[in-house]
Amino acid sequence: MRITLKGLQILIILATLILFAEVGYFVFYAQFNQYTAYTKSQHHLNLMQKLARLSASLAEERGLHAVQSSFMYADLGSENNLKEELENARCNTDKILSELENLPIDTLPQVLQSQWHQLFNTLTNALPQLRQQQDSAFDAYTRLILQLILFQERLKTYLATAAIQQTAQKYIYLLKTREYAGQERGLVMRHLLFNEPFDTEDFITLIGHIQQQQILLNNLLESDASAKALVQQFLHSPELNLFYRMRNQLTDLFDLHYYLNAILSQVGYVGLIHHYKDHIIHGDEQIHKKALKSYRRTLHFIQLLQEKINLSPQQRDALDILKKTFTQYAQNLERTDQLRAQGLSPAEINRRLKVDDQPAIDAIDLLSSPQPLIAPERWWNHATFRIQMLSNMMTQFIHQAQQQIAQRKQESLDQLIERGILLGLLLLLLILIAFYSIGRMNKLRLLVDALDRMVEQRHYHLLPVPGQDEVGQLSATFNALILERKQHIKDIWKQSNLDPLTELPNRTYLFNLLNHVLNDAKRNREKVGILFLDLDGFKAINDTEGHRVGDELLKTIAKRLKSLLRKNDILARIGGDEFIIVLPRMENSQQAITVAQKILQAITQPIALSRNKQVHISGSIGIALFPDDGTDADTLLMHADMAMYRAKETGKNRYACFDASWPQKLQREQQLIQTLTKAAENNAFAEIGFDVYYQPIVNLNTNQTSHVEALLRWHHPELGFISPAEFI
| SS3 at position 375 | coil
Left if phi > 0, otherwise alpha if psi is -120 to 50, otherwise beta: which for 703? left
Predicted pLDDT at 585:
92
Question: Are residues 638 and 682 both part of a single domain?
Answer: no
How far apart are the C-alpha atoms of 530 and 418, rounded to whole Å? 71
Provide the pLDDT for residue 149: 92
My answer on whether 229 and 357 are in the same domain is no
Rounded Cα gap, residues 591 and 603, in angstroms: 19
Report the alpha-carbon angle 685-689-690, nearest 5.
55
Which residues are bridge partners to 571 per DSSP? 581
> Phi then psi for 520, rounded to 5 degrees?
-65, -40
Q: Is the pLDDT confidence value at 626 over 50?
A: yes
Same-domain status, 82 and 231: yes
Where among 480, 497, 514 does a domain terminate?
497
User: In this predicted structure, what is the pLDDT of residue 86?
Assistant: 86
pTM: 0.51
Residue 447 has a pLDDT of 47
Whether 18 shows a pLDDT value over 50: the answer reads: yes
Q: Which of 132-146, 462-476, 632-646 has the lowest mean pLDDT?
A: 462-476
Burial 170-188 (b: 16+ CB within 10 A, else e): bbbbbbbbbbbbbbbbbbb
For residue 450, the model assigns a pLDDT of: 42
If asked whether residues 466 and 600 sit together in one domain, one would say no
pLDDT tens string 232-242? 998 888 888 88
Count CA atoms closer than 13 A to 385's CA, side-chain side.
Answer: 15
Most confident of 422-426, 428-432, 675-679: 675-679
pLDDT at 674: 76
CB 707 within 8 A of CB 699: no
Tell me the CATH number at 516: 3.30.70.270
Question: Which DSSP letter does residue 72 get?
Answer: -
State how far the Cα of 289 lies from the Cα of 275, in Å rounded to an integer: 9
pLDDT given at position 70: 64
Higher pLDDT, 453 or 360: 360
Answer yes or no: is 82 within a domain.
yes
Same domain, residue pair 515 and 465: no
Handedness of CA 363, 368, 370, 374 (dihedral sign): positive
Q: Is residue 494 pLDDT above 50, yes or no?
A: yes
Q: Does the residue 437 lie in any domain? A: no
346 pLDDT tier (thresholds 50, 70, 90): confident
Mean pLDDT, residues 323-332: 81
174 shares its domain with 135: yes
Confidence band of 534 (pLDDT split at 50, 70, 90) = very high
Percent of the chain past pLDDT 90, that is, above it, reads 23
Q: Could you report the per-residue pLDDT of 130-149, keeping only the tens digit for each?
A: 888 766 788 889 999 999 99
Q: What is the pLDDT of residues 562-616, one digit of tens each?
A: 999 999 999 999 988 999 999 999 988 899 999 999 999 999 999 888 777 888 9
**Cα separation of 578 and 573, whole Å?**
6
Question: Is residue 475 domain-shared with residue 554, that is, in the same domain?
Answer: no
Which of 601, 634, 657 terminates a domain? The answer is 657
CA distances from 350 to 134, 264, 355, 457, 618 (A): 58, 22, 9, 135, 116
Distance CA 403, CA 394 (A): 14
Q: Does a structural domain hold residue 21?
A: no
Render 684-720 in DSSP notation, one character per residue.
-TGGGTEEEEEEEEEETTTTEEEEEEEEEEEEETTTE
Q: Give the SS3 label for residue 585.
A: strand
**In Å, how far from its chain's centre is CA 570?**
53
For residue 313, the enclosing domain spans 260-368
Q: Is residue 252 part of a domain?
A: no
Mean pLDDT of 348-372: 75
Among the residue ranges 265-279, 295-309, 637-651, the one predicted with the least confidence is: 265-279
Q: Would you state the pLDDT for residue 569?
A: 93
Residues 177 and 136 in one domain: yes
Read off the pLDDT band of 633 (50, 70, 90): very high
Measured distance CA(217)–CA(211) in Å, rounded: 10
334-357 average pLDDT score? 79
Whether 640 maps to a domain, the answer reads yes
Q: Are 434 and 13 in contact (CB under 8 A)?
A: yes
For 318, other C-beta atoms within 10 Å of its C-beta total 22
Instruction: Specify whether the CB–CB gap between 644 and 532 falls below 8 A.
Output: yes
Q: Is the peptide bond before 627 cis (omega within 30 degrees of 0)?
A: yes
pLDDT above 70: residue 194: no
- Which of 320-329, 361-370, 542-551, 686-695 shows the lowest mean pLDDT across its residues? 361-370
Rounded to an integer, what distance in angstroms lies between the CA atom of residue 58 and that of residue 92?
A: 9
- Average the pLDDT over each of 35-44, 472-481, 501-510 and give the range with the smallest value: 472-481
Residues 388 and 479 in one domain: no
| Residue type for position 296 | R
Which class for 650: exposed (0-12), middle (13-18), buried (19 or more C-beta within 10 A)?
A: exposed
For residue 116, pLDDT over 60 is answered with yes
Averaged pLDDT for residues 249-271:
74
- Which of 344, 368, 392 terminates a domain? The answer is 368
Confidence class of residue 418 from pLDDT cuts 50, 70 and 90? confident
The shares of helix, strand and coil residues in the chain, as percent rounded to the nearest 5, are 70, 10, 20
| Mean pLDDT, residues 696-707 | 83
314 pLDDT more than 90: no
Res 518: pLDDT: 94
Q: What DSSP character marks residue 576? A: T
Q: Distance between CA atoms of 182 and 60, rounded to whole angstroms?
A: 8
Mean pLDDT for the stretch of residues 630-638: 91
Q: Which helix (H) or strand (E) segment is 397 a member of?
A: helix 376-442
Strand partners of residue 715: 721
Question: Is 100 a domain residue?
Answer: yes
Closest CA to 664 of 642, 640, 690, 686: 642
Q: 336 and 270, same structural domain?
A: yes
State the chain's mean pLDDT as an integer. 81
Most confident segment among 289-303, 417-431, 601-615, 620-634: 620-634
Q: Are 642 and 620 in contact (CB under 8 A)?
A: no
**Residue 64, domain member (yes or no):** yes
What average pLDDT does range 149-177 have in this prediction? 89
> What's the pLDDT tens digit per position in 428-463?
777 777 666 666 565 455 445 545 544 554 555 555
What pLDDT is attached to residue 480? 67
- pLDDT score recorded for residue 473: 65
Amino acid 455: pLDDT? 54
Which pairs with CB-CB distance under 8 Å and at least 24 residues apart come from 304-309? 304/259, 305/255, 305/256, 305/259, 305/260, 305/263, 308/255, 309/252, 309/255, 309/256, 309/259
Q: Which residues, in sequence order, are CB contacts of 691 under 8 Å at separation 6+?
A: 712, 713, 714, 715
User: Residue 360 domain-assigned?
Assistant: yes
In this model, does residue 199 exceed pLDDT 90? no
Max avg pLDDT among 229-238, 277-286, 349-358: 229-238
* pLDDT at 72 > cutoff 50: no
Rounded to 5°, the CA angle 265-267-273 comes to 145
Q: What is the pLDDT of residue 632?
A: 93
Helix/strand/coil for 614: strand
558 and 691, same domain (yes or no): no
Q: What is the pLDDT of residue 6?
A: 62
Q: 189 with 333, same domain?
A: no
Tally of domains within the chain: 5
pLDDT at 189: 83
